[in-house]
Structure 1
Amino acid sequence: MAGLANEADLLKKGIIATVVYAFIMSIMGVAAKQVQQTIQVPVLVFWQSVFCIIVLYPQLYGHWQRRSKEVWKIHFLRSVGGFSGFLFYYLALNHIPLVEATLLRYCAPLCVPFVVLVMHKITIPKARWLPLIIGFIGVSLVIQPSIDHIDPWQIVGLLSAVGLAFSMVTTRMLSHQVSGQETMIVYFIISALLSLLLVLVRGDSLVLPMSTWPLVLTVCVTLYLGMYLYTKAYSFAPASIVSPVSYVGVIFSGLWGWAIWGHVPNALAVLGIVFIFFSVLISARMVRRR
């Protein structure tokens, strides 16, 4: 009985941590969308990376270990995936409603089987095709493409899910070899370097106007807290619980979008959100049974 009570308590903590994570990340999306009216996306990615490096470095001081070339290769792939995921997400935020950009980013679980196929040559099981088809029907209902028009920025938002899926797969590979803090700080270091390169190529300035400091700081703090809570959620509860519950973030983003910008998804988009949620729920249950 004590073991069951403890398991139920951990499950409750996992759900709470996931909901709080989703709420905090929705605030990050709001701040990122607003601040990009003044500064460029690579500049924002650079400063959020630098902030997280500063926070994480003391946690790893004196704990660094030599790693093999294979581990560093996975570190690099994970970092490029995470960097591209954020870059595409922020770019999409500039042109489409917050709830759409957030939902398309949350399609990452749908992209994971295809990333695994490319990276490990592991074919997608037949049972997985049903939730994938349901999920991508949902994506099409959200994007609502037509013969005459496809919004390229919605495609950019979907690319953020591909980048996130890539980082999810490689993070899983690293989890058996390095600590979560090491994975995060290596990611932020590479992210800072890649964003700095983009800033130099574009000729942007890294100097932040005073008016943007509160918003940039909000993005930095919420990003770090969100990643911390997400990691804690997975330590409390299985992915089959955390992944579906995290979709409450779409609701939070929808509320923010309606309250601040007056964005209200149409009936087809809402139906698409439901389709995507159920596809992830079905996939999570399949993984749990296996």
Structure 2
Amino acid sequence: MTDRAPDAVVLEPGLPVPDTAPPSVPHRPLLGVAFAVMAVLLFAAMDTITKVLTASHGYPVTLVAWARYTVQLVLMTALLAPRHGRGLVTPTRPLPVLLRSLSLVAASLFMGLALRRLPLAEAGALVFTAPMLVVLLAAPLLGETLSAGRAALALLGFTGVLLIARPGGDLDTLGVVFALACAAVTTAYNLLSRTLRAEQPLTLLFNSALVGTVAFGVFAPFSWSGDALTPTLMAMFLALGVLAGVGHFLLTLGYRYAPASTIAPVSYLQLVWAGIFGMMVFSHRPDQLALLGMVIIAGSGIATVVTGGRTTTRSRAVRT
């Protein structure tokens, strides 16, 4: 029986967590954490730009997503294709990789729709229920062990959802539905990622960019609406792809230098960044119950990752 690394907890769905770093890579956890902190900052900035373009300037979500994936694909092709060649495009298991990429496309669509209707912090917190769903579903779908403690932590996290999306609250109901739909497809994405660890991370990332470009490109000719383009708006469209590509690269470096159980809790800093950007750009401040819900979701998620990491460490010690 093989060990499984703890769950990757990333709002912007990231690369699958490697089981172990390559032997030639030194163990430098502080450097890994620093890379992860920068990555989630870039992901929060990307969500902020997406909300500005869709909610404030009226651009369709499909157009914004197409621009993000296209810029990312062009950058990866220019920088990586000369070195990696066809290996960048051809995975060993094409069908699961395609399904994983389509899950990410759906997540991007639902997240964009949610951000049009919800504040940044609340939308992010609702989507952060995905790692808890992974914990609950990994047992029946992947045959992984689910302890009573981790199940209780996952269920506790959903009480935070009820506090954020409570009846009578100020949040848009359809926006909440979109955010929870994003969490659902992100769960599928993460579960597929756990079955594809033999694939090269750059191959997975390139295929996601390629599928996203094609999928959203189908709608691009019918999505040309919104404010007239200015140099600033064009720069924001270009920034989406740059932030996504650099963010994923930094996250990959983070997992390369530090174990998953150390890196994954850092992802919850994205909620902090989202709250800060929400106040700075949109002058939004979550109410007290919503803040409590975010704390519960973040706390239970971090505890889930930490306890999972300890369990994996103990099991390795026993077998060796």
Partner of 2:285, secondary structure, is: coil
Residue 179 of structure 2 is matched in structure 1 by: 157
Contact 1:199 1:206 in 2 (8 A): no
Contact 1:102 1:250 in 2 (8 A): yes
Which of residues 35, 45, 49 in structure 2 aligns to 1:17? 35
Residue 67 of structure 2 is matched in structure 1 by: 47
Give distance in 1, aligned partners of 2:227 and 2:218.
Answer: 17
Residues 193-252 of structure 1: CA deviation (Å, up to 9, x unaligned): 21123445xx32399943220111121211111111111111122222222111111111
Paired amino acid for 1:215: M
Residue 73 of structure 1 is matched in structure 2 by: 95
Residue 297 of structure 2 is matched in structure 1 by: 276
Give the structure with the larger helix fraction: 1
Residue 126 of structure 2 is matched in structure 1 by: 104
The structural deviation recorded for 1:114 is 4.4
Distance 1:72 1:208, change over 3 A: farther
Paired amino acid for 1:224: G
User: What is the aligned length?
Assistant: 278
The structural deviation recorded for 1:153 is 0.8
Residues 167-195 of structure 1: CA deviation (Å, up to 9, x unaligned): 2222232221x211110111111111211
Query: Does the alignment pair 1:221 with 2:274?
Result: no
Give distance in 2, aligned partners of 1:98 and 1:85.
Answer: 16
Give distance in 2, aligned partners of 1:132 and 1:217.
Answer: 37
**Structure 2 counterparts to residues 86-165 of structure 1, below 5 A:** 86-116=108-138, 119-120=141-142, 124-146=146-168, 151-165=173-187
Give distance in 2, aligned partners of 1:60 and 1:126.
Answer: 46
Query: Percent identity between the aligned chains?
Result: 21
Give distance in 1, aligned partners of 2:85 and 2:64.
Answer: 29
TM-score, normalised via structure 2 length:
0.79
Give distance in 2, aligned partners of 1:55 and 1:199.
Answer: 20
**Structure 2 counterparts to residues 154-193 of structure 1, below 5 A:** 154-176=176-198, 178-193=199-214
Give distance in 1, aligned partners of 2:258 and 2:208.
Answer: 24
Paired amino acid for 1:179: Q
Distance 1:123 1:80, change over 3 A: farther
Gaps of 5+ in 2: 1-25, 312-320
Residue 57 of structure 1 is matched in structure 2 by: 77
Give distance in 1, aligned partners of 2:282 and 2:96.
Answer: 40
Distance 1:14 1:145, change over 3 A: farther
The structural deviation recorded for 1:108 is 2.0
Paired amino acid for 1:188: A
Residue 38 of structure 1 is matched in structure 2 by: 58
Partner of 2:59, secondary structure, is: coil
Contact 2:91 2:203 in 1 (8 A): no
Give distance in 2, aligned partners of 1:239 and 1:139.
Answer: 25
User: After the TM superposition, which of the residue ranges 181-190 and 191-200 deviates more from structure 2?
Assistant: 191-200
Paired amino acid for 2:245: Y
Which of residues 196, 208, 215 in structure 2 aligns to 1:194? 215
Residue 246 of structure 1 is matched in structure 2 by: 267
